[in-house]
Amino acid sequence: MTGGVVLVLGPLGLNFGSGMTGGLAYVLRAEAEDVLHKEFVRLEEVEAAEEAWLRRTLQEHGNFTRSPRAARLLSRRGSLGLLRVQPVHFQGTVENTWAPILGGFGFLEVAQPVPVSVSAATQAIHA
């Protein structure tokens, strides 16, 4: 994966994220353990703005597919139970990655940018 956003509602294969250099993936918390290729990706908690964007994405998915899993996730109180998978050397912002999708949903205004922390070592690599 080199760009865009993907929402995985089922099981993950071994080495999920291997070779991932861009984009964002969202996976079920229960599916994320022990299958990620941690040399390429890391797990992050979903921020409040992302949660809203994910809910809208699930609503659209449910409208088109009548997915029982999407309906079940949307019926949950509180968090959807998703985690963000992002490249270790993620460049850009979560907001900019989501912008094309949100534009397609008719969101005229994107919420405040979701900060992505970059370690000092990563900053030095890109300096």
Burial class (CB in 10 A: 0-12, 13-18, 19+), 99: middle
52-107 pLDDT, tens digit each: 999 999 999 999 999 999 999 999 989 999 999 999 999 889 999 998 888 887 76
Burial class (CB in 10 A: 0-12, 13-18, 19+), 88: middle
Closest by CA to 60, choosing from 7, 112, 11, is 7
Whole-prediction pTM? 0.80
Domains and CATH numbers, the chain: 2-125 (2.160.20.60)
**φ, ψ for residue 26 (rounded to 5)?**
-120, 130
110-122 pLDDT, tens digit each: 444 444 444 444 4
Report the alpha-carbon distance of residue 33 to residue 11 in Å, rounded.
11
